[in-house]
Structure 1
């Protein structure tokens, strides 16, 4: 079949005039053009590309075929070019589709460094890695990872922001390289925010323990780094290369849901109240004036955020609290 005959076949197909055998030929053409790009397009993306391709051809063709033959229309030429692009790489169609869609999609490409996923959509994209770990890639971000992890570690490279829920494997640390900062864990969940045009890099821990250190050629014992636990975060200033640990804005209770925590106190000694908060949030609370330990506290603090709980406790015992790094300090004259 020459090009002219093939063009005529497509025109008949879109007009619904094909025989069963002719329809079969067109369907085979569609499948073959997409299958050649299977390494670059996931199965859902193949279906999406196919639908968009034929929808755009159909809509445009019936507007123009009254004026000229189908195979001479610009939209047929675009379709042919798109088909060639799919066959010989697929990257062109992925890069151009933002012109035809109001909602950009995620680009998945095979690079010399591994598989690179770029999220140009407005919503986060969930990525499942071969070890069972899950990456929630935020908008305007990209992550690169090998098709198969090595024997000693599981390394990925991040640009932008992502939440990592890492499958525990004590034999293979999970390592996130984000600009000038490295985050290393065995199995936990955390968020890394590392945009190239930002002045700092941020790591926030949700569960488990996370080792965060500067990406440098210094020996391990000389690296600038810290260990973070839940409700803690660290900010790395790119200019000063300073790591600043702190507490997240809204700490959450980290105890398992099978052991719900209640914050109801009735004439409870202040040390016991603070110990309950320490255990629930995994944070250190230090009383600087020991006279405060003689105070008692009565209140229902359920369903209140940590900072509100601390504020109510301090007001009741004539004290105030201050956050320094990843610890909370309480000081004041104490109850009378």
Structure 2
């Protein structure tokens, strides 16, 4: 069972929607949590912890409010989790505590930290490959669930995900969630950083804030190759942009693809768009008759654009995920 599935199970339990088998599972978990608590709670402490825990769980995993007529069984679970919270001195979020309890109960969660000075390759059971940067940690189950493939990342890693349309791959990094079917991307999520970054190399990635909202109202974006997103933790803003050094996504069929001779500017930009999968916009009609002659092979995108713009009296500016050309144009 992965983190997402356990969140859903706990929500069902507190809403009285579990099957007998699921109830037994949660009860066993609560007993495990009770066993790790070393200090008993008084009645007033139990009541206070129960109230605080409910508020935190409701904020973190999206349980809808309901009247405080919880069955004795559910109250027992809350108190047991409250004991665990006291044990951990309230230092972690409920999500982290639940994940830690899963790991401590031998439920098959692997916590792997790269203590070396080089990138460490991690191969998951589905064939996906994670290149874990130094001083970074990834947590993942030995066996993925039936609906999703969920992992947790602290630090930085490059993911090359094996495609599986029936089972999305989900990466949790604090309050940001990255969800894909099969693609390659990099995530930078360091605890002391003010932001989280997701950079896409291939495929399509959905990035959204982990909040208590319906999917159609989530704060998020869809990223395509050579695009990235920066999630600012304090303001909770998601800012889409382009990666610093875009790379060719669709290699040229012929080596002469980036060699131009008296080629209209529109065709040159179309070639670049097809190769890098980046949108270009020309802001003025002054470029309609502009042509470009030159060899752009084996040059980075920004150098290619510098040469093209110099030839047609233009400048370029990146706005979000689009590159705009502007200027006086050709005479």
Class of the TM-score when normalised by the shorter of the 2 chains: 0.5 to 0.7
| Number of residue-to-residue matches in the alignment | 229
Alignment partner, residue 282 of structure 2: 287
In structure 1, C-alpha distance between the alignment counterparts of 2:258 and 2:246, rounded to whole Å: 15
1:149 and 2:144 equivalent?
Answer: yes
- Aligned residue among 112, 128, 131 for 2:123: 128
Distance 1:301 1:193, change over 3 A: same
User: Does the CA contact (< 8 Å) of 2:108 and 2:143 recur in 1?
Assistant: no
| Aligned mates of 2:255, 2:107 — CA distance in 1 | 48
Q: 1:110 touches 1:116 (CA, 8 Å); kept in 2?
A: no
TM score, norm. by length of structure 2: 0.67
- 1:296 aligns to what? 291
Whole-Å separation in 2 of the counterparts to 1:279 and 1:259 = 14
For the pair 1:277 / 2:287, whether they are aligned, the reply is no
Deviation of the 1:262 alpha carbon: 2.8
Gaps of 5+ in 1: 1-107
State the TM-score, normalizing by the size of structure 1.
Answer: 0.66
Contact 2:226 2:276 (C-alpha < 8 Å) held by counterparts: yes
SS at match of 1:294: coil
Q: How far off is 1:118 after superposition?
A: 0.8
Could you give the per-residue CA deviations for residues 43-66 of structure 1, whole angstroms, max 9, x where no partner exists? xxxxxxxxxxxxxxxxxxxxxxxx
Q: Which has the higher contact order (CA 8 A, sep 6+)?
A: 2
CA distance, structure 1, for counterparts of residue 296 and residue 305 of structure 2: 10
- Residue 223 of structure 1 is matched in structure 2 by 218
Q: What residue in structure 1 maps to residue 244 of structure 2? A: 249
Corresponding residue number in structure 1 for 2:80: none
The ranges of structure 1 where at least 4 consecutive aligned residues each deviate by more than 3 angstroms after the TM superposition are: 108-113, 256-261
Alpha-carbon distance change, 326 to 218 in structure 1, aligned in 2, over 3 angstroms:
same
Q: Deviations over 1:68-106 (max 9, x none)?
A: xxxxxxxxxxxxxxxxxxxxxxxxxxxxxxxxxxxxxxx
Distance in 2 of aligned mates of 1:184 and 1:331: 36
1:247 CA drift (Å)? 0.8
Contact 1:109 1:117 in 2 (8 A): no
Q: Which runs of 5+ in 2 are unaligned?
A: 1-102
1:187 and 1:208 in contact (8 A); partners too: yes
1:311 aligns with 2:306: yes
**Based on CA coordinates, which of the two structures has the bigger radius of gyration?**
1
Q: Which residue of 2 aligns with 1:51?
A: none
